[in-house]
Structure 1
Amino acid sequence: MFFNPFPHAIGLDISDLSIKMVQLNNISKLKKGKTFELINAKSTQLPHGLIVNGELEKPEAVRKYLLHLFEKNDKKEKFYKTPWVVASIPDKHGFIKLIQLAKEPNDIIEEDIIIASQKHVPFQENDYYLDWQIVPSHHHDGIQYTNILLASIPKNIANMYTYLLESVGLAVIALELGALSTARSMITANKDYVDEGRAILYIGATESTLTVYDHDHVQFSKSLNYSGEILTTAIAQNLHISYDEAEMKKKAYGLAYSKNKSWPILAEQTDKFIKEIEGVLEFYATHFPVTNKINHITMCGGGSAMKGLDKVLTEKLKIESSPGKVWKNLHSPKPIDIDANKSLRFAKAIGLSLRAASNPFFDNNYI
């Protein structure tokens, strides 16, 4: 087994309307590669208003739901008690981008990164935490470039989540943007994507993110204006029905064509969503050097299971789009008995737990 100084550390995905946790056991052997078994995966729903747009509006109430999540439901439930956690930060509050420095990797110092980041990071200097990682580099136009993946989070957001987790007795090993977590779970580990790019489309209850993965690493991510909440609210307002009725219609009919009055409302919102996706992919193709065509969109998050959505995206974007297999990078010797659609909701938490179950300081890559 590989050494982990944080035994039984968990991955914790905190969003506006739910908290999800996944705990894995690292049973890897040196000659067989990384292998994990699932210990526990569960979630708790949050009422509206406790967390709004990723900001903790009522931290004391959220604290109670966290404590509830870590309680065992019955004696048969398997869960290793641990203080260690790798937790998510909402993508809408962070920034990720791959940049290039015209220097050899061994000639780069931290000051190079700080100076370069000031040209890219959209936050005021001294108001954010900056993390970076050197990733496989390449030559372009005869010049040696070193690829640097930048990730930044506003200090007030990071501190807010750290204080919350520490208040329930948890020790934060790392905070990570969801785009990196989903890449770790949804991109097949150790697979060579030669001359082809991938996009990871996370659709949650209150947020969506498109992450571009090319040349064996994350290039950048963009938050999009589409979510389960947006769709349900649009149905409720247009049909003058309750929120609960609208939610039932969305789940029952989705984008599978029908004469139900909710279909044109969902179709209109999804057309706007598709234009946003097209804009992101166009930006990548025209603003990044040496890009490959994105030929597959891997979908995850609870919203990706909506009826007909994968077919609509495939047809209108002309890119094959389908929900991914969120447990694949565990290489688990035991079958995981969780419904495929339900599993999609755990994409971020699985990515976080894969990092947590390895050595989180050394194995902080996105795959």
Structure 2
Amino acid sequence: MFKQKTYLGLDISDLSLKIAKTKKQSNNFKLEKLKRVRIKRGIIENGVIKKPGLFEQIIEKTCAQCKVNSISCSLPENKIFSKIITVKKDTSESLNRAIQKQLSQTIPLPINKVYMDWQIINKHKNSYQILIAAAPRKIIDSYLEIFEKTKCKIQALEIESTATARALIKHGNNNAPVFIIDTGALRTSFIIVYKNIIHFTASKPISNNSLVNIVAQELQISKKDSRKLKINIGLNKKYKGLYKALSIPLNDLAETLQNYISFFETHIDNKQKIEKILLCGGGANLKNLDKFLESKIKIPVNIGGYFINKNRLSHAVAIGLALGHKRKINLLPRRFKKALQLEKITQKLGIIFINIFIASAILTLGIFVLQFLIKITLVNNSLLDQQANYTQLQENLAEKIQKSDSLLEKINQVNNKSNTLSWILQDINEKALGNITITGLFIKDKEKKVVINGQAITREAFIKFEDSLKNYKGIDSPLSNFVKDKNISFSISFTYE
């Protein structure tokens, strides 16, 4: 009846734009498209857009070719700050304020110069364990300006490491810590994931390009031939020159890997041990890299995982973004999130109206058929025996007409009810814009009662919102709504006719 949802993930780096398009089918995703677009040097440098006009053309062309205007995009990892913090439950401040306070003490930028988001990952007796992420507003605004100009609707701005983990580890299958090594064109990223939460990230300038350059220089061959040797022969001791050229930087990589594993197991979570290592990125196609690292670290090493096979290694971030229909950390500014929330409510209302229209159409058709059958029955009975059971025929006819009238009355009730509820929902959405966020709206049909749950930034904002509802009857607003001055979680109800 309705079109299946499609998702587009864009992994943006200094030298390329990697694209993944997926389609949601029931509870599974189908990968529809993978693509890589080269970005000329100088358009993006170190994650910063230097030539917006040229980058805008690339994004506009990409969205047009993929026939999707709703996208998720990665932010450069080196511009993101992320950390797991602990916040006490007994603080007099709101949770969001306490998180902002801790964040301001640990990042080099003023809190008003960053966009942030957070996720509660553990609830203890006296505290919360929270994953926070922040990025400079200047960087995020530069990306959003491009997307707004191209009229591509941005759904999310995500951390690369989060998207990578989502592509490699199926949700719910992460009961032991997993170490991910993502070797890209310019750097290698190290990610430790436990219970689908990023607990550690780092990077090192060992990259796919640097390995190609080292082999080309040591063996005095072209970069093209160097790439072929890396993929087809790789780490093979029979080829001493090639093995020696590759083993020097990769021994350094293995040592770094071991240090990060030891740090996690002794400082971050001394109860958990890394059980496996997953490789992805273009550099993961180096032949025998998995066996080389496994021999050094003594931990099983696999190439790819969950949604990533050997043909998709370099698109892990893009695929993870296209799988992210339910994400926890999203660095989009608040105004974009509120617009998306309003759009979802509007879409749900549209679906309700369509269902009501279909139900009304079916009932109307049923009544028409019933009336038609009544007429045929009447004519046939009259022709067969006009004199027989005339009184009984009248009673049957009256009964069927009464059923028809009852069905018509039900249709009118459905239409009246749908018109009333749609008006109420639209009225509440209009009144809630601004400093009010609606988190839940429930309709108790039998009681003809509407219950609204939400968040108000200040008490004054809540009082103003409550006053705007005075055209409804039976308003019930508990005293608990007025206890706090700021960041109020409220519940208010009223009846309708």
TM (normalized to structure 2)? 0.60
Residue matched to 1:364:
328
2 CA distance for matches of 1:107 and 1:265?
Answer: 57
Q: Which AA in structure 1 matches 2:228? A: M
Aligned equivalents of 2:63, 2:155: Cα separation in 1:
18
Residues 280-295 of structure 1 mapped to structure 2, 5 A cutoff: 280-295=260-275
Q: Which runs of 5 or more structure 1 residues have no equivalent in the other structure?
A: 29-33, 73-78, 329-339
Shift of 1:165: 3.0
Question: Contact 2:174 / 2:195 at 8 angstroms: preserved in 1?
Answer: no
- Confirm or deny that 1:116 pairs with 2:109: no
1:223, distance to aligned residue in structure 2 (A): 1.6
Mapped partners of 1:267, 1:137: distance in 2: 45
Q: Displacement of 1:158 after TM fit?
A: 1.9
Verify: 1:262 aligned to 2:203, yes or no.
Answer: no
Aligned equivalents of 2:292, 2:85: Cα separation in 1: 33
Q: Does the CA-based 8 Å contact 1:183-1:351 persist in structure 2?
A: yes
Q: Match of 2:154?
A: 172
Work out the CA distance in 2 between the residues paired with 1:163 and 1:176. 17
Aligned to 2:313: 344
CA distance in 2, matches of 1:212, 1:192: 11
1:40 and 2:33 aligned: yes
What does 1:292-331 correspond to in 2, within 5 Å? 292-327=272-307
Give the count of matched residue pairs.
330
Residues 122/277 of structure 1: CA separation in 2 closer, same or farther (3 Å cut) = farther
SS in 2 for 1:342: coil
The letter for the 1-side match of 2:19 is M
8 A contact 1:225–1:273 mirrored in 2: no
Provide the rounded CA distance (Å) in 2 between the counterparts of 1:51 and 1:22: 20
Cα drift, residue 204 of structure 1: 1.3
Please tell me whether the aligned partners of residues 104 and 146 of structure 1 are also in contact (alpha carbons under 8 angstroms). Answer: no
Note closer, same or farther for the CA distance 1:114–1:247 as it changes in structure 2 (3 Å cut).
same
Superposed CA RMSD in Å reads: 3.0
**How many angstroms apart in 2 are the aligned matches of 1:291 and 1:107?**
32
* Residue 83 of structure 1 pairs with residue 69 of structure 2: yes
Q: Which residue of 1 aligns with 2:47?
A: 54
Task: Supply the distance in 2 between the matched residues of 1:106 and 1:345 (Cα, whole angstroms).
Answer: 47
Residue matched to 2:223: 243
Secondary structure at the counterpart of residue 325 of structure 1: coil
% same residue? 28
**Correspondence for 1:225:** 205
2:183 corresponds to 1:185: no
Distance 1:192 1:234, change over 3 A: closer
2:339 is equivalent to residue 353 of structure 1: no
Q: Which of 48-57 and 176-185 deviates more?
A: 48-57
String of CA shifts for 1:49-108, please: whole Å, max 9, x gaps. Answer: 433332334343333433443454xxxxxx5x2321110012122122222223279985
* Partner residue, 2:445: none
Counterpart CA distance in 2 for 1:59 and 1:240 is 39
Show CA shifts across 1:300-330 (max 9, x none): 12211211111111111111111123427xx
Q: In the superposition, relative to structure 1, how do residues 289 and 252 fare at CA in structure 2: closer, same or farther (>3 Å)?
A: closer
CA contact (8 A) 2:231 2:285 kept: no
Query: Distance in 1 between the 2:270 and 2:104 partners?
Result: 23
For the Cα contact (< 8 Å) 1:105–1:146, is it kept in 2? no
Query: Which structure shows the higher helix fraction?
Result: 2
CA 1:230–1:128 in structure 2 vs 1: closer, same or farther (change >3 Å)? Answer: farther
Q: TM-score w.r.t. structure 1 length?
A: 0.79
Residues 1:98 and 2:80 aligned together:
no
| Counterpart check, 1:130 vs 2:124 | no
CA distance in 2, matches of 1:305, 1:177: 24
Return the offset for 1:296. Answer: 0.7
My pick for the range that moved more, 40-49 or 261-270, is 40-49
Q: Is the 8 A contact 1:206 1:227 kept in 2?
A: yes
Q: Which entry has the higher C-alpha Rg, 1 or 2?
A: 2
- Alpha carbons of 1:82 and 1:317: their partners in 2 closer, same or farther (altered >3 Å)? same
Match in the other structure for 2:134 = 152
Say whether the 8 Å CA contact 1:22–1:349 is kept in structure 2.
yes
Amino acid across the alignment from 1:66: I
Partners of 2:51 and 2:12 lie apart in 1 by 14
Residues in 1 aligned to 2:139 and 2:62: alpha-carbon distance in whole angstroms:
22
Query: What residue is the counterpart of 2:19 in the other structure?
Result: 21
**For structure 2, which runs of at least 5 residues remain unmatched after alignment?**
331-497
Contact 2:170–2:306 under 8 Å retained in 1: no
* AA in 2 matched with 1:116: Q
